[in-house]
């Protein structure tokens, strides 16, 4: 029975169905997008290379909105798990070019694929604490991608004033229908090449702290 369910979920029809559901469901949001042009102008007009970083918990509210970037062919790393098969199928329908792999499986090949894609198209997204957490942590991949492609990191945050949270390691966020949803882009971060592991770790921790504070600020703003 479990095998049959996995086969159903990995089917193109199931992926198409979820994609349509997400698009329709997301129409109920009272959506607000903040600070988007702070990085988009650099990407479009100044040949900048941008790596958008988000926590695993928060990517669902942005799925429909990010289809507007489809023409730029943004890259996204998705794990090689069965869940990843399903998520990758949905992501590809929203305009992302998915590269399969993660910190736990196929990581080196996927990182190289992401570097090649980001170098060619100058835009990618990265889930900084996936696929297994810990929640809010920053894996080294984001810093390595930025170094290898001379990319600017742009933090991305999503929150809702009313939402359900899954009983999972990341407390996955699902905004309730007709809730206020804010998508907020942070300020650009430039990390220079490092010569020591200590300097690299300092950059990783800096990004982790920035992402944590940005999330807390967005939550506080929505609570007012």
Q: What is the 3-state secondary structure (H, E, C) of 128-144?
A: CCCCCCCCCCCCCHHHH
Instruction: Tell whether 117 is covered by a domain.
Output: yes
Which residue stretches of the chain have pLDDT < 70?
A: 1-10, 81-84, 101-107
Hey, what are 38's tokens? 């702070």
Tell me the CATH number at 182: 3.40.1130.10
Phi, psi of 97 (to 5 degrees): -100, 110
Query: Is position 207 within any domain?
Result: yes
Q: How many separate domains does the chain show?
A: 1
Domain membership of residue 48 (yes or no) is yes
Residue range(s) defining the domain that contains residue 21: 10-223
- Mean of pLDDT over the chain: 89
Residue 1 forms part of a structural domain: no
- Claim: this prediction has a pTM higher than 0.85: yes
pLDDT at 41: 86
In a domain, 130, yes or no: yes
Asked if residue 184 belongs to a domain, the reply is yes
- pLDDT value for 9: 57
Summarised one tens digit per residue, pLDDT across range 100-114 is 766 556 568 888 999
d(CA 28, CA 37) in angstroms, rounded, equals: 24
Residue 2 pLDDT: 44
Give CA–CA dist 73/94, Å, rounded: 10
Query: What pLDDT does residue 102 have?
Result: 60
In a domain, 134, yes or no: yes
- Residue 5 falls inside a structural domain: no
């Amino acid at each position: 029975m479990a095998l049959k369910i996995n086969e159903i979920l990995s089917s193109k029809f199931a992926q198409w169905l979820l994609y349509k559901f997400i698009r329709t469901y997301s129409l109920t949001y009272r959506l607000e997008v903040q600070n988007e042009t702070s990085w988009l102008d650099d990407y479009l007009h100044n040949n900048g290379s941008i790596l958008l970083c988000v926590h695993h918990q928060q990517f669902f509210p942005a799925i429909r909105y990010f289809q507007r970037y489809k023409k730029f062919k943004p890259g996204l790393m998705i794990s090689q798990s069965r869940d990843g098969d399903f998520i990758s199928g949905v992501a590809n329908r929203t305009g992302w070019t998915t590269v399969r792999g993660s910190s736990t499986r196929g990581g080196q090949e996927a990182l190289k694929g992401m570097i090649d894609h980001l170098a060619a198209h100058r835009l990618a997204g990265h889930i900084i604490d996936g696929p297994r957490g810990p929640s809010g942590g920053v894996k080294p991949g984001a810093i390595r991608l930025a170094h290898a492609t001379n990319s600017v990191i742009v933090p991305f945050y999503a929150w809702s004033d009313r939402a359900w949270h899954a009983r999972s390691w990341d407390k996955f966020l699902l905004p309730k229908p007709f809730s206020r949803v804010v998508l907020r882009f942070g300020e650009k971060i430039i990390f220079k090449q490092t010569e020591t592991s200590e300097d690299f770790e300092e950059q990783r921790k800096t990004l982790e702290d920035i992402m944590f504070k940005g999330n807390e600020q967005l939550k506080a703003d929505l609570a007012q």
